[in-house]
Structure 1
Amino acid sequence: MGGWLQLENLGLTEGGVRIVADVTLEIGAGRTAILGPNGAGKSTLLRLMHGLLKPSAGRVAWPQPLSQGMVFQRPVMLRSSALANIEYGLALRGHAPDERRRRAQAALERVGLPELAGRQAKRLSGGEQQRVALARAWALEPQVLFLDEPTASLDPLSSREVERIVGEIAAAGTKIVMTTHNLGQARRMADEIVFIEGGRLLEQTPAAEFFRQPRTDAAREFIREEIG
């Protein structure tokens, strides 16, 4: 395999329950969306990729070390300002105070929230917090950014803004791997689809092909149900 991220017979069992089972795939260029019904194991697979969970079987292989970031569906905000939340991650990476401030302010500009720099992050709306979380990740200039249902709890306007920001992060050269249950979002944002059900990989297909002619009955049924 030759992708920048390789999963080999990856599995996770917790409490006797198999959550991810024998997943083998590689991820290369472009934006990848992990799709599947509720309980399919999408978020668990993403956390295994990022190293937040240790697999019970198989392995996650990075042929070359790449810097990573992750943004969750409900981002964790420190009890400090939006700007300080972004500076915190930069401080952990060892950046000097002046550099932290410069990069944090630039990141808030890029996500369209410079006027909220001094506001308490925990008091921001859900959409604003998610944009701060994206700014915090973007300021670190990750080569790979994992996103777990980044718009699942947001209103349509906030969702569109998050999609815009993610598109700009990708255009700047960061590889995006995201989970979503939103077919429209996957159509708009993904170059390839990884479709899982019951913790098993059923399809890894270019996005246009997946939506035009899914290969499995499970994927066809998923699309039918989501379209309604």
Structure 2
Amino acid sequence: MNIRVLNSSKEFNGKEVLHIDELDFKEGYTYVLMGLNGSGKSTLLQCISGLDTFTRGNVSYDNYNSINFVRKDISVMLQKPYLFNCSVLENITMGLKFKKFSKEIIEKRINTYLKYLVVDDLLHKNARELSGGEQEKVALLRTAILETKVTFLDEPTASMDIENILRSEKLIKTMSQEKRTVILVTHDLLQAERIADYIIFMDKGKVIEQGEKYEVLNFPKHKLLKQIFKNNNIKNI
């Protein structure tokens, strides 16, 4: 699915917190939204994914001007995912059952996706009793298993240890296969380097730089990015 955001803004209590002149997301790519805290990246993700709405502007999804035509093709994992009061396995498969997939397809996808993250010992535990990192693994699997045309992920690995972060990143890369698209928020520059095809950097509700990963990380043009990379000793990524 191709998504275009044009002349769109978001206001809270009469104050503009987000203003996007133009953004294009093409199918088959992983886009990473970055920026300092409060830069508007999560708000942008929520508005594009349909969890919230722009105050004004236009968003098109494969030339449809309403998300209602494509909502079934979109999946979202929030920064603080909501898990249902049931087992881990039930949480992971609930979306497929809701969409009335056959038992054969559900079983096939379980076998495909559970190999990415080690959750075998968690499958029959209540999902709400898990640690933060464990809950993120469940939420990520629940999202990935849907195989939607577009997947939105907001800080999906924030509470994970490095081993599970790397495992999760392999899973995330599969989500942009077969012309599917991933739009992901992260604060981790190294994670962006590992999984992004395209980076969009935001500040104060606006896009200040965007481009292919290599160009943005190695040859930033905006002074804020140059300063951030200098302060973090990041160069020649």
Q: Normalised by the size of structure 2, how large is the TM-score? A: 0.86
Please tell me whether residue 45 in structure 1 is matched to residue 41 in structure 2. Answer: no
1:87 correspondence with 2:85: no
Q: Which letter maps to 2:13?
A: G
Give 2:229's aligned residue: 223
Q: Take 1:156 and 1:109, find their aligned partners in 2: how far apart are those partners?
A: 17
Give yes or no for the alignment of 1:105 onto 2:110.
yes
Moved more, 102-111 or 49-58: 102-111
Of the three residues 185, 197, 209, the one matched with 2:215 is 209
CA RMSD, Structure 1 to Structure 2 (Å): 2.2
Q: Is the 8 A contact 2:89 2:123 kept in 1?
A: yes
The residue matched to 2:114 in structure 1 has which SS?
A: helix
% identical equivalent positions: 29
Deviates more, 1:186-195 or 1:126-135: 126-135
Q: Deviations over 1:180-211 (max 9, x none)?
A: 11111111110111111110111221110001
- Secondary structure of the 2:156 match is coil
TM normalised by structure 1 equals 0.89
Q: Give, in whole Å, the separation in 2 of the partners of 1:72 and 1:141.
A: 17
Instruction: Quote the Cα distance in structure 1 between the aligned partners of 2:173 and 2:80.
Output: 20
Work out the number of aligned pairs and report it: 225
Shift of 1:46: 0.5
Note if 1:119 corresponds to 2:125. yes
How far apart, in 1, do the equivalents of 2:18 and 2:232 lie? Answer: 23
Q: Is the 8 A contact 2:116 2:167 kept in 1?
A: no
Q: By how many angstroms is 1:175 displaced?
A: 1.4
Q: Which residue of 1 aligns with 2:172?
A: 166
- Deviation larger for 131-140 or 193-202: 131-140
The aligned residue for residue 15 of structure 1 is 13
Instruction: Supply the AA of the counterpart residue of 1:122.
Output: R
Q: 1:128-167 to 2 correspondence within 5 Å?
A: 128-167=134-173
Distance 2:98 2:21 in 1: 33
| Higher fraction of helix | 1
Quick one: structure 1 residues 117 and 172, their matched pair in 2 at CA, closer, same or farther if it must change by over 3 Å? Answer: farther
